[in-house]
Homo-oligomer: A and B are copies of this chain.
Amino acid sequence: MAGNSIGQLFKLSTFGESHGPALGGVVDGCPPGLELNEADLQHDLDRRKPGQSRYTTARREADEVKILSGVFEGKTTGTSIGLVIENTDQRSKDYSKIKDVFRPGHGDYSYWHKYGVRDYRGGGRSSARETAIRVAAGAIAKKYLKQFHGIEVRGCLSQLGPIKAQQYDWNEVHNNAFFFPDASQIDALDEYMRDLKKQGDSIGAKVTVVAKSVPVGLGEPVFDRLDAELAHSLMSINAVKGVEIGDGFAVVEQKGSQGRDELTPQGFTSNHAGGVLAGISTGQDIVASIALKPTSSITVVGQSINTRNEAVEMITKGRHDPCVGIRAVPIAEAMMAITLMDHLLRQRAQNPHVAHEFGPIPGQK
């Protein structure tokens, strides 16, 4: 309980169910002086929004975010920023059939046993809809990191089922509905998704996020390592079952003479470590990848039980993403940005030299 917050100095606390009146959150710890308006948040929200292409759910949510506090005359004031997104597409329908049934692969079973009650109209807090607020909060962090420190956080779909990106062209990511960085495989992706739709099935995916121009020194060497906190924030995204930093699981078969990143007076010669050594950023790109499982909301019949422990057969009709990994790209960017922002502020507290680029505060010597 009380598990709806993340971050220490840049802290996001969220609320809201998919079928309630609204989602919302509090972003606490954004420094004063950042130019901010709702359009800044809307851009990433629109990237995450359902209904953007035929590859994602046909549900339509306006996902219009309102800033309720913390911004005055177009700039952040240093006080907490209240965010709300109203739920507009809650179709009224008959939920009595699924009320007492646990969808296999979903949180229904664990959730119901934990709380003894659940909002059976949707996934409750387990709904991926909750991530909309993360994306809005992440957009604040991204803007701050970019504007004051030149740090850029970008993500892409690096693999969808069997189809892997062979090249990473960040410009290409914006050109296709998959956030895929490899133009040569867009047709293959398109064909794969059409087949999948016919089968009524879903597929897993891998998402890679990269932060450029991160200063050396972010992260703590023991429990609050930058990589450990990235693992936390990225694994907290729905459907994620694995997190890698840099080479990730490939290191299992590496030798030490291969895997170490050597140093020269001109800089590192490689980046196997993904920009983190001893839990602290090295100044190289921070590289993290996540594995997203295929959604269990499919029309292939599955076995399950109800709350009376009786066997039932289930299919999950409705408007669902056949590959939840696609829309996870902006969410992963948001989580990485939130974690980096938190560590940037923490490093400032300890090492006041980090932020010399700031001019004086008006009214202070």
Contact = CB atoms under 8 A, between A and B. Distances in A.
Interface in A169-188: none
B68 A22 contact: yes
A126 B276 CA distance: 12
How often does this chain occur in the complex, in copies? Answer: 4
A41 interface: no
Interface string A348-360: 1111111110101
Given A1-B346, A291-B248, A113 B216 contact: yes
Interface string A41-78: 00000000000000000000000001011101001011
A1 B220 contact: yes
Interface residues of A, number: 168
A293 B254 CA distance: 7
A294 B350 contact: no
A165 to B, nearest CB: 12
Interface in A118-138: 118-119, 123-126, 130
A307 interface: yes
A311 to B, nearest CB: 6
Interface in A308-365: 309-311, 345-356, 358, 360-364
A361 B351 contact: yes
A87 to B, nearest CB: 9
A279 B28 CA distance: 17
Given A69-B20, A77-B115, A243-B243, A109 B2 contact: no
A236 B3 CA distance: 20
A251 to B, nearest CB: 4
Interface string A192-210: 0000100101111110000
Contact of A251 (B22, B278, B294): B294
> 3 closest pairs, A vs B, by CB?
A107-B278, A3-B220, A105-B260
Given A4-B223, A242-B251, A251-B294, 9 more contacts: A17-B69, A17-B72, A125-B221, A161-B255, A203-B253, A225-B236, A228-B232, A232-B232, A265-B305
